A and B are shown apart, each in its own frame.
Chain A
Amino acid sequence: MLKIENLCFSYQFRPLIRNLSFEINKGELCHVIGPNGCGKTTLISIIAGLLSPNTGSISWQTKSDGITKGLAEVIEYLPSEANSLYAKMDATTNLRFWAQLRGMTITTPEIFAELEKWDLNHPLVRENFATEKFSTGMKRRLALARVALSKTPFWLMDEPLYGLDTKGIETFQHMLKKHLNEGGACLVVSHDVAPLAPLKPKKIYMTKEQETK
């Protein structure tokens, strides 16, 4: 369970997040909604560990009495405007690299199986083909494949549907449903409400005046 308590964050002297508290339990999808500039991406960056909050705490509780120390161990982050791909490397090398950084041993068939789900398993695409030549949607699908392969219990996604076609959105929905059914949790920031609606997310509304509901 991810627990956020009394989170406050200001850019310079401009308060952006004030006393934000919520929890995300196992198998729960949390959808953060709000207008541009209300602090959604800032919130996700704080949870990912890229920004330090002014006050408040974020913790991941595995059991009733146990709290893990490193959020990086349990969180896989998908940023909004980047896919975290080495442009000169191919899809397989990129996925293997991120898995190795998590200390995972991942086999080539496992990678190919994940790429298959995202329609990226063509021999001319998956290997010896730099990802810089991928289209926007292909890069996003590969980034989502990385998230799926991370096998972390908590996913943090900022506009995950950016650039995805209809088939990609369906694959994303299947991936997320499977993750939640297996006891994982997820926080999504997205302006696209409809694709997430079938998964019955818990909604968090953020406003510029920052009275989080």
Chain B
Amino acid sequence: MKGRFLNQVKALFLQNLKIELSTPERFLSPLLFSITIIIMFSFAMGKMEPSLIVKTFIAQTYLTAFFALQVSFARAFDPDTHDGVFQQMRTYPVISSAWFLSKYAMVVFMGSLILIPTMLVSLFFSPAVDLSIPLNFLLIPLLVILGLSPIGVLLSTMTMRSGAKQIIFPILYFPMTAPVLIAAVESSQAILLQQSTVSELMNSWLGLLSIFDIIYITLGLMLFGELVKAE
């Protein structure tokens, strides 16, 4: 059973990866969107106080990543919707948690492909941000991706199965992402402006962020099977 589970995760993940890499425009367009926003922001804001630069860096990083990831999530099941692949998968003995985890891993990977270059460009336009800190700071965007991705996978599945189609995505996605993003912004400010350590923050905002990650991943594992079972 365990061997079959891992084989299915691997087969599904590699298949998704091959498809994503054969259609690079699927992640290039949200990435270019993010970078364009950051460049426009930096020109529009002009010269700023160092503390304001850091705050702008945090805001623009999560804001652009949020919208870019939303585009990416909404397309998570695109290759499966063609030619009845998704329906066929539902008739196969696929373990639902294996299916969810493979999609989740794929979305985390694609999210990282968007977020990492976005942050690098953002840093380039934010000279006041101490480059020695971001190593510590990288944990937060990672937790953001880990927390937002299960919501993305779940909502993409719901969008595909729902008669309401795309309208369901923003209605549920925006409120569900709010706690993750607020905790991420507060943690980032604490690390970059108040020089707080990760262990200190685990009792406050970073702890909250981690808890929401666990909740959303658990929700994904529990609900995905319900979303793909017989109507």
In-complex Cβ contact of A51 among B11, B22, B92, B231 (8 A): B231
A65 CB to nearest chain B CB (Å): 23
Contact with A along B90-102 (1 / 0, CB 8 A): 1111100000000
Roughly how many angstroms separate A114 CA and B85 CA in the complex, as a whole number?
21
Are B231 and A50 neighbours in the complex by a CB distance under 8 Å? yes
Are A73 and B93 neighbours in the complex by a CB distance under 8 Å? yes
A204 within 8 A of B: no
Given A89-B18, A101-B94, the answer on whether A79 and B88 have CB atoms closer than 8 Å is yes
* Closest A residue to B86 using CB positions: A84
Question: Could you count the A-B residue pairs with CB atoms below 8 Å apart for me: how many are there?
Answer: 81
Roughly how many angstroms separate A103 CA and B92 CA in the complex, as a whole number?
11
- Number of residues on chain B facing chain A (CB within 8 A): 25
Set of chain A residues within 8 Å of B88, measured between Cβ atoms: 77, 79, 82, 84, 98
Are B230 and A51 neighbours in the complex by a CB distance under 8 Å? yes
* Closest B residue to A101 using CB positions: B92
Set of chain B residues within 8 Å of A89, measured between Cβ atoms: 15, 18-19, 22
**Stretch in B76-84, B123-131, B166-174 touching the partner:** B76-84
Are A79 and B15 neighbours in the complex by a CB distance under 8 Å? no
Roughly how many angstroms separate A85 CA and B94 CA in the complex, as a whole number?
17
A183 CB to nearest chain B CB (Å): 20
Q: Is the interface of A mostly helix, strand, loop or mixed?
A: loop
Are A101 and B89 neighbours in the complex by a CB distance under 8 Å? yes
* Closest B residue to A47 using CB positions: B91
Set of chain B residues within 8 Å of A67, measured between Cβ atoms: none
- Number of residues on chain A facing chain B (CB within 8 A): 28
Roughly how many angstroms separate A86 CA and B16 CA in the complex, as a whole number?
10
Are B83 and A82 neighbours in the complex by a CB distance under 8 Å? yes
A148 CB to nearest chain B CB (Å): 15
B210 within 8 A of A: no
Contact with A along B7-27 (1 / 0, CB 8 A): 110011001001100110000
A209 within 8 A of B: no
- Residues of A whose CB lies within 8 Å of any CB of B are 48-52, 70, 72-73, 75, 77, 79, 81-89, 93, 97-98, 100-103, 139
Subset of 18 A-B contacts with CB under 8 Å: A51-B231, A70-B93, A72-B91, A72-B94, A77-B88, A82-B83, A82-B84, A82-B85, A84-B85, A84-B87, A85-B85, A86-B19, A86-B79, A87-B79, A101-B8, A101-B89, A102-B92, A102-B93
The 3 A-B residue pairs with the shortest CB-CB distance, nearest first, are A82-B84, A84-B88, A100-B11
